[in-house]
A and B are shown apart, each in its own frame.
Chain A
């Protein structure tokens, strides 16, 4: 088939169309020229897009591939390779006394922060959406701006100072409060948008039937914004799970440190990374978040906007 030939030509020709087109043109009449040209263009476009996507996908997939192979490799390097299969790395990892407890700490800090963020953000978003507060939008934007500083590096010294005075150093509570504080503004922002998209007539209707504010919240508001709450919860868990700096600075005792901090300790005395332990721990460390993601997405679905799915 001519089309195929042209495609192959242009592939070998390094993707330039000129050659194929001219030859197609001399072979057929005027109408064939345009058809051929179109076909060549189409083929090259498809090929170009596929190559580009493959490159991008490879760029993102290779580290993940490493994560899948290295833990089972007897001699892992920093490149992904076919492993010399072993489970020895896992045993070596579990010999480290802090590994399992660090994952437990991660769970405590992430779950508590997510719960705190979801509850407080839901209440704040509901109030901000339903009650006319002067300067409400300005307040939200300022909070949003500051929140990127609060959990960021810039405010670490004052936060440490504050935590010391409040006796929150070396406590889960200190980490939970600091991280939640950083997540709250964005959570409020997203949930408020969600509430804004929900007609007030639902709540008013329930009110006319005699429902109390608490009943309205339980029966109507929470079920209606549930996908939003699920989104916020997962996002909060994932952010806390991946937080390094805050727990690193606020926690002295390695028995309280979360996974992200313990990962940083898996070095030899000489200071070179123990790739066997790091890769194995990385795998253990990422699995819970992935599982949670799949579970929540199945159960509730994610949405970042309000309004009613019809």
Chain B
């Protein structure tokens, strides 16, 4: 178990990379720290590892407060973004290094390294130097080195970001399976929401050193707690349209949608709906956003259609995902009909409905 209490890290010069953060990560959990570049993910991970001393707050691993302990005494293993394989050591020596530090006899640690390497299909490569390995192989050596020391916690900083796109998909599955087998509490950092959704048991979405939402991938995807998470999660960005909640319904970008519980009386709201939950109609409807097709993007088995919607409250872009063969030509008039039960209503940036 890892728990963080009021953790703050301020760098000289006044940058608050981590800002009063509370978080609890359960035993054996595969936990993702997700956020845009520069939001403090790496700093948070390094603070857990002990490579950065927090300005204030506490880090607890297991039952022990480790805030004042050096990295080597926290029983964690970290895989760095650049893997940090020692260039002058071969694969065996790299994997065995944590055991060498622990003064395990040479024969024993080399046997252990070979065993770990075999598990990650690295047996053929034991005598190579890191420079002679591909990116994917380097990543597996870095994982093997972390596994070989049997830590209580794994910390991975963007473990897949140095791989090419196809390798990344394979490595995702591989990493998730490995974590299941080992059942070691794992915190991994990523800026890729797809990666976090696919791999993590739970996700903390971060922005500017704070946590915006913590939840399972489905929770974070289906009920983003605020507009930041709503816009960050999802492979196609969510439609977030400003509107007003009147008694007869929600007035959003020229459409009148059924009233939502919890908002009324002329309150300003933001109406959120994923493009996947938006259908296109070719005739005018009261509950649809009327606009002109400006861009049609091919997503493979579907199309992402962008409508330019002109309404009394201003101009907006509304996106809808339509099945293949159903895409309208650019320039056509079209009506985007939201599947209203899927809609998310935000007031002051925070979720009110559902």
Contacts and interface: CB of A to CB of B under 8 A. Distances in A.
A154 interface: no
A59 interface: no
Interface in A275-310: 308-310
B230 interface: no
Contacts of A205: 78, 80, 84, 86
A270 interface: no
B72 interface: yes
A215 B71 CA distance: 15
A226 B88 CA distance: 10
Contacts of A210: 71-73, 98, 101-102
A215 B78 contact: no
Contacts of B50: 208
A199 B85 CA distance: 11
A12 interface: no
B178 interface: no
B49 A202 contact: no
Given A199-B84, A223-B88, 6 more contacts: A208-B51, A208-B76, A210-B98, A211-B72, A212-B72, A219-B86
A208 B87 contact: no
16 contacts: A199-B84, A202-B86, A206-B86, A206-B101, A207-B70, A208-B50, A208-B76, A209-B72, A209-B97, A210-B72, A210-B98, A211-B72, A212-B72, A224-B88, A308-B131, A309-B131
Judged by DSSP, the binding face of A is: helix
Interface in A193-238: 199, 201-202, 204-212, 215, 219-220, 223-224, 226
Most buried by B among A215, A219, A224: A219
Contacts of B84: 199, 201-202, 204-205
A220 B73 CA distance: 19
A310 B131 contact: yes
10 interchain residue pairs of minimum CB distance: A210-B72, A201-B84, A205-B84, A209-B98, A223-B88, A208-B71, A201-B80, A310-B131, A208-B78, A211-B101
A303 B190 CA distance: 37
Nearest to A202: B84
Contacts of A212: 72
Contacts of B100: 219
Contact of B80 (A204, A226, A310): A204
A207 B72 contact: yes
Given A199-B84, A201-B82, A309-B131, A207 B102 contact: no
Contacts of A226: 88
B87 A215 contact: no
B149 interface: yes
B86 A204 contact: no
B196 interface: no
A215 B101 contact: yes
A204 B72 CA distance: 10
Given A215-B101, A308-B87, A310-B131, A199 B72 contact: no
B144 interface: no
B344 interface: no
B203 interface: no
Nearest to B98: A209
Given A224-B88, A309-B131, A207 B71 contact: yes
Contacts of B97: 206, 209, 219
A309 B76 CA distance: 30
Interface string B130-169: 0100000000000000000100000000000000000000
B82 A199 contact: yes
Contacts of A220: 86
B49 A208 contact: yes
Contacts of B73: 210
A208 B88 contact: no
A201 B80 CA distance: 7
Contacts of A223: 86, 88
A224 B87 contact: yes
A212 B73 CA distance: 11
Contacts of B49: 208
Contacts of B98: 209-210
Nearest to B155: A208
Nearest to A226: B88
Contacts of A211: 72, 101
A240 B290 CA distance: 85
B190 to A, nearest CB: 18
Contacts of B33: none
Contacts of B88: 223-224, 226
A210 B76 CA distance: 10
B160 to A, nearest CB: 17
